[in-house]
């Protein structure tokens, strides 16, 4: 399962990712600046299945130039190739401002309207809700938020990253309960989408590029192996030739030595015989 976290800086994307994975694998910022400077993915076993979370920097911050955003979008696609099974659009339990609306606009711009079919809205800082207040009651009077949740098939959750009231595992505001409910919703969404992952022209281009790179790597490996085999065969042939030459020379040397030895013995015998009969 591949999940992409989307949202502006400071909404708690990295904290949510850590909460879902059950350990602190993503850096959490303590200032207004984003602690995540580039797209990064981590995979862990969650409830018996592999979950890959792609944490993104503040891709939708209004003060980031467009030329900085696009490479990060492509990087995001690369990290989740061939495509994410789910998007989690993260907001804080706070006032809905122009920046929050910009998040929605940027999703439309970069991912298209189709992305909402794979998206779930998640609110962080659930402790800001009033006692007994549900997240549905929170956004009920906000038309823009209501429209967004409707686009996402009514999928909306709240989470508190501070593990407050974690001694009540079945309580609506329990951190563990919230995460389980979120993952159940994503599971149902993936099932409704028949296990398909989100894709668009950009993703398809990235995947095609990735496949071409894989082919090039495989070709390079194949060429490298072929070159190695050729060099090895050449070296083996040279070795055989050298070995054969050395053996031939040694054979000649032995024959010459034996000839000299026999010649020496022959003349020694001849000399002995001539001396005896003199």
Give residue 118's pLDDT.
Answer: 92
Q: What angle do CA 189, 192, 195 make, to 5 degrees?
A: 85
SS3 of 47, please?
A: coil
- Chain-centroid distance of CA 72 in Å reads 14
What is d(CA 182, CA 136) in angstroms, rounded to the nearest whole number? 14
DSSP 66-85: HHHHHHHHHHHHHHTTT--S
State the angle between helix axes of 13-21 and 175-192 in degrees (0 to 180), rounded to the nearest 10: 90
Question: b vs e for 189-199, b when ≥16 Cβ sit within 10 Å of the residue's Cβ?
Answer: bbeeeeeebbb
Give residue 152's pLDDT.
Answer: 92
Per-residue pLDDT of the chain (278 residues; tens, 9 = 90+): 899 988 888 888 888 888 888 888 887 755 444 444 577 888 898 888 888 988 877 656 555 566 666 666 666 767 777 788 999 999 988 888 888 888 888 888 777 788 899 999 998 888 777 777 788 888 887 888 889 999 999 999 888 755 544 545 445 556 777 888 888 999 999 999 888 888 766 566 656 666 777 788 887 888 778 788 888 888 888 888 888 888 888 888 888 888 888 878 877 777 777 776 65
What is d(CA 210, CA 217) in angstroms, rounded to the nearest whole number? 10
Q: What is the CATH T-level fold of the domain 2-199, as seen in this structure? A: Rossmann fold (3.40.50)
State the angle between helix axes of 143-151 and 98-111 in degrees (0 to 180), rounded to the nearest 10: 20
Give residue 155's pLDDT.
Answer: 93
- Indicate the DSSP class of residue 186: H
Do strands 156-158 and 86-92 pair parallel, antiparallel, or not at all (unpaired)? unpaired
Signed CA dihedral, 140, 144, 148, 150: sign only:
positive
Nearest to 88 by CA among 178, 214, 219, 203: 178
Give residue 31's pLDDT.
Answer: 44
Nearest to 119 by CA among 127, 111, 129: 111
Give residue 81's pLDDT.
Answer: 74
């Amino acid at each position: 399962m591949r999940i992409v976290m989307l949202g502006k800086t400071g909404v708690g994307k990295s904290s949510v990712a850590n909460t879902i994975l059950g350990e602190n694998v993503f850096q959490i910022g303590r200032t207004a600046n984003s602690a995540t400077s580039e797209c990064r993915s981590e995979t862990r076993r969650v409830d018996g299945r592999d979950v890959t979370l792609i944490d993104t920097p503040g891709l939708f911050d209004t003060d980031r130039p467009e030329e900085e955003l696009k490479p990060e979008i492509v990087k995001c696609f690369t990290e989740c190739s061939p495509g994410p099974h789910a998007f989690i659009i993260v907001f804080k339990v706070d006032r809905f401002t122009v920046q929050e609306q910009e998040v929605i606009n940027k999703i439309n711009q970069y991912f298209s309207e189709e992305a909402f079919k794979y998206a779930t809205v998640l609110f962080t800082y659930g402790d800001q809700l009033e006692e007994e207040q549900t997240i549905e009651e929170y956004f009920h009077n906000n038309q823009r938020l209501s429209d967004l949740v409707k686009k996402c098939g009514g999928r909306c959750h709240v989470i508190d990253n501070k593990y407050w009231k974690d001694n009540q595992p079945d309580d609506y505001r329990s951190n563990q309960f919230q995460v389980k409910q979120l993952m159940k919703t994503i599971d149902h969404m993936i099932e409704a989408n028949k296990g398909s992952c989100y894709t668009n022209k950009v993703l398809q281009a990235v995947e095609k590029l990735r496949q071409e790179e894989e082919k090039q790597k495989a070709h390079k490996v194949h060429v490298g192996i072929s070159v190695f085999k050729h060099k090895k065969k050449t070296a083996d042939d040279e070795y055989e030739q050298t070995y054969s030459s050395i053996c031939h020379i040694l054979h000649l040397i032995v024959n010459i030595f034996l000839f000299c030895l026999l010649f020496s013995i022959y003349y020694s015998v001849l000399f002995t015989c001539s001396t005896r009969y003199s």
